[in-house]
């Protein structure tokens, strides 16, 4: 947990969000600045900086996050049409919030990789 981290604050309910999924390990809420018709953030409750900061202890959690993403994609009706899961790492990766998360992007054709 981190006092000032935006995503920790959303998880604690201190900042508003459109929460779409919650379980003991993970939450999913709408991105505040969507770049696709479906743009949802899949976020562990545990504060980990990025996918590069994980250890063997986090392996099950990371698998769980991918499964949550697939579940939310089905709920959003984009499982058939397909979607993209992205996690940004560090400056050149375009990471702005240093709390591990996956972007679930769908509802339009994704092109290129940035
Ligand atoms: P990153 O660039 O770190 O991979 O992605 C951070 C994402 O968090 C961005 O897409 C940004 O729009 C989103 N974001 C930043 N602040 C907030 C916020 O306060 N609420 C929500 N719902 N999303 C946020
Ligand atoms: Zn955090």
Please report where in the chains the tokens 């459109």 appear, as a residue. 18
Sign of CA dihedral 25, 31, 113, 83: positive
Cα–Cα distance, 13 to 63 (Å, whole number): 25
Give the tens place of pLDDT for each residue, 7-25: 999 999 999 999 999 999 9
Protein fold of 6-106: HIT family, subunit A (3.30.428)
Residues with Cβ within 5 Å of ion ligand 2? 2, 5, 7-8, 47, 99
For the chain, which residues make up each domain, given as ranges?
6-106
Q: Active-site residue 99, yes or no? A: no
Q: What is the structure's pLDDT at 3?
A: 82
For residues 103 and 41, the answer to whether their CB atoms sit within 8 Å is: yes
Whole-structure pTM over 0.95, yes or no? Answer: yes
Residues 56-84: tens digit of each pLDDT = 999 999 999 999 999 999 999 999 999 99
Counting ligands in written order, the one closest to the CA of 97 is: 1
Average pLDDT, the chain: 97
**What does the DSSP assignment read for 51-93?**
GGG--GGGHHHHHHHHHHHHHHHHHTT-TTT-EEEE---HHHH
Q: Which atom of ligand 1 is nearest to the CA of 101?
A: 4
CA distance 39 to 42: 10
Pocket test for ligand 1, best of 6, 16, 17, 90 (most atoms within 8 A of CB): 6
For residue 81, give both structure tokens: 């049409």
Q: What is the 95 CA–ligand 1 centroid distance (Å)?
A: 9
- In this prediction, residue 85 has a pLDDT band, given cuts at 50, 70 and 90, of very high
Residue 20 CA to residue 92 CA, distance in Å, equals: 29
- pLDDT of 94: 97
The verdict on the CB of residue 28 being under 6 Å from ligand 1 is no
């Amino acid at each position: 947990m981190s006092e000032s981290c935006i995503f920790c604050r959303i998880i604690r309910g201190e900042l508003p969000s459109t929460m779409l999924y919650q379980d003991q390990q993970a939450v999913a809420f709408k991105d505040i600045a969507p770049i696709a018709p479906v743009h949802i953030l899949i976020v562990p409750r545990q504060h980990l900086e990025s996918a590069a900061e994980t250890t063997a202890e986090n392996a099950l959690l990371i698998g769980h996050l991918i499964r949550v993403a697939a579940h939310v994609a089905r709920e959003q009706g984009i499982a058939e049409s397909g979607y993209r899961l992205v996690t940004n790492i560090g400056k050149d990766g375009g990471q702005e919030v240093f709390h591990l998360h996956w972007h679930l992007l769908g509802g339009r054709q994704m092109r290129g990789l940035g």
